Amino acid sequence: MPKVNHDILRWARETAGLSLEEAVGKLNIHDSTSASAVDRLTALEVGDTAPTRPMLLKMAKQYHRPLLTFYMSAPPRQGSRGQDFRTLPPGHSRSEEALLDALIRNVQARQGLVKAILEDEEDIEPLPFINSMNMSDGVEMVLASLKDILQLELDEFRSQSSPSEAFSLLRDTVESTGVFVLLIGNLGSHHTAIDVETFRGFALADELAPFIIINDQDAHSAWSFTLLHEFVHLMLGQTGVSGARAEIAVEQFCNDVAGEFLLPRQEIQAIGVDEGTDIAQALEAISDFAQARNVSSSMVTYKLFRGNMISHNKWVDLSRQFRRLWIEGRMEKRRKSRDQQGGGPNYFVVRRHRVGNTLINFVDRMMASGAVTTTKAGQILGVKPSKVPTLIDTGKAI
For 201, phi and psi rounded to 5 degrees?
Answer: -160, 160
- At residue 309, the pLDDT reads 94
Among 70-79, 90-99, 369-378, top mean pLDDT goes to 369-378
Same domain, 220 and 94: yes
Q: Is residue 137 part of a domain?
A: yes
In this predicted structure, the answer to whether residue 397 has a pLDDT above a threshold of 80 is no
Same domain, 384 and 303: no
Among 69-78, 189-198, 343-352, 358-367, top mean pLDDT goes to 358-367
309: containing domain:
266-326
Q: Is residue 79 part of a domain?
A: no
3-11 mean pLDDT: 87
Same domain, 184 and 320: no
Residue-wise pLDDT for 277-303, tens only, equals 999 999 999 999 999 999 999 999 999
Same domain, 186 and 137: yes
Q: Is residue 333 part of a domain?
A: no
Q: Which one of 219, 245, 262 terminates a domain?
A: 262
Same domain, 48 and 138: no
- At residue 398, the pLDDT reads 47
- The total domain count for the chain is 4
Strand pairing partners for 88? none
| Whole-number percent of the chain with pLDDT over 70 | 95
Q: Is residue 332 part of a domain?
A: no
Q: Which one of 230, 262, 294 terminates a domain?
A: 262
- At residue 338, the pLDDT reads 65
Same domain, 298 and 384: no
Same domain, 296 and 365: no
Which contacts qualify for 380-387: CB closer than 8 Å, 24 or more apart?
380/110, 380/113, 380/114, 381/351, 381/355, 382/106, 382/110, 382/184, 382/351, 382/355, 383/351, 387/348, 387/351
**Cβ atoms within 10 A of the Cβ of 122, count?**
4
Same domain, 203 and 186: yes
- At residue 394, the pLDDT reads 83
Same domain, 254 and 126: yes
Same domain, 103 and 231: yes
- Chain-centre distance of CA 147, in angstroms? 24
For the ranges 63-72, 108-117, 372-381, the lowest mean pLDDT is seen at: 63-72
pTM of the model: 0.83
Residue-wise pLDDT for 12-67, tens only, equals 898 787 889 999 999 999 999 999 999 999 999 999 999 999 999 999 888 888 78
- At residue 93, the pLDDT reads 74
Residue 367, amino acid: M
Strand pairing partners for 212? 181, 203
141-153 mean pLDDT: 98
Q: Is residue 75 part of a domain?
A: no
Can you give the CATH number for the domain in which 24 is found?
Answer: 1.10.260
Same domain, 224 and 176: yes
Question: Do 38 and 24 touch, CB atoms closer than 8 A?
Answer: yes
368-388 mean pLDDT: 92
Residue-wise pLDDT for 333-344, tens only, equals 777 766 665 556
Q: Is residue 120 part of a domain?
A: yes
The 3-state secondary structure of the chain reads CCCCCHHHHHHHHHHCCCCHHHHHHHHCCCCCCCCCHHHHHHHHHHCCCCCCHHHHHHHHHHCCCCHHHHHCCCCCCCCCCCEECCCCCCCCCHHHHHHHHHHHHHHHHHHHHHHHHHHCCCCCCCCCCCCCCCHHHCHHHHHHHHHHHHCCCHHHHHCCCCHHHHHHHHHHHHHCCCCEEEECCCCCCHHHCCCCCCCCEEEECCCCCCEEEECCCCCHHHHHHHHHHHHHHHHCCCCEEECCCCCCHHHHHHHHHHHHHHCCHHHHHHHCCCCCCCHHHHHHHHHHHHHCCCCCHHHHHHHHHHCCCCCHHHHHHHHHHHHHHHHHHHHHHHHHHHHCCCCCCCHHHHHHHHHCHHHHHHHHHHHHCCCCCHHHHHHHHCCCHHHHHHHHHHHHHC
Q: Is residue 245 part of a domain?
A: yes
Q: Is residue 207 part of a domain?
A: yes
- Chain-centre distance of CA 385, in angstroms? 23
What is d(CA 126, CA 149) in angstroms, rounded to the nearest whole number? 15
157-162 mean pLDDT: 97
- At residue 17, the pLDDT reads 79
Same domain, 37 and 4: yes
